[in-house]
Every structure is written in structure tokens, then in C-alpha cells.
Amino acid sequence: MTHPFQSIEEVTIQEFVLFIKIHHKQIEENTIIYLNLEPSITGADRKRAAMLLDSFLRLMTHANIDELNNDDKYFFNTWLQSQLSIIDRKSFNLFQLIFEKSLITFMIQ
């Protein structure tokens, strides 16, 4: 028995930002929970990851959807450039892990 292949629809930057704007409170709560529950994160790493998460959620909630033009590379690169003083590979990986866990948890709920 074979199952038909279902294509995955890509989300535009505007749709992603709108999703974050609508659900940012719950996503933010989830990030705080996951950040505090992870025992292997040191204090300094936790602080840097928390600053990245906060900055990213602020960027998403304050972005003007009408001005976004599907140039997600520019949009995200601008944010990354603004975080250069605190970001390193470990803190970025923690940011990504916590943010993805938070989104998945929200989507399951």
C-alpha cells in the first residue's frame, strides 16, 4: 500500500511574521519555559540565548508586514548583524533549539 506524496507548502515571510505577531505571547512563554528547564545551559549561555530570543520576538512583533517583500535573507541578516556583539555559534544553536521547541509545542497545543 503506497501513500501519495504530499507536498509541503512554503510559508512566506509575511505569513511567518503574522503568525508570530498573533501568537507571540504563548511562544514567548514557551521559550522561557524551555530556556529555564534545560539543565545543561550555563548562566552566561542562558543569558545570551534569552537576549537573542527576546530580540527576535521583538523584531517579529514590531515588523511592518506591508513593508516586507519576501526578501527573507535581508530581513534575517539585518537582525543577525545587530546581534553580533552577543552571538556565537553556541548561543545561536541554543536560540534555534529553544525557538523551534517553542513553536512545535505551540503547534501541538
What's the pLDDT tens digit per position in 29-58?
Answer: 999 999 988 888 888 889 999 999 999 999
Q: Is 41 helix (H, G, I), strand (E, B) or coil?
A: coil
Closest by CA to 98, choosing from 21, 24, 34, 23, is: 34
Q: 10: how many CB neighbours lie within 10 A of its CB?
A: 7
Q: Find the range with the poorest average confidence among 30-34, 69-73, 94-98.
A: 69-73
The model carries a pTM of 0.82
Average pLDDT score over residue span 81-106 = 91
Which phi and psi (to 5°) does residue 98 adopt?
-65, -40
Q: What kind and span of H or E run contains 39?
A: none
Q: Using pLDDT thresholds of 50, 70 and 90, give the confidence band for residue 74.
A: confident
- Left (φ > 0), alpha (ψ -120 to 50) or beta: where does 77 sit? alpha
The domain segmentation of the chain, as residue ranges, is 13-108
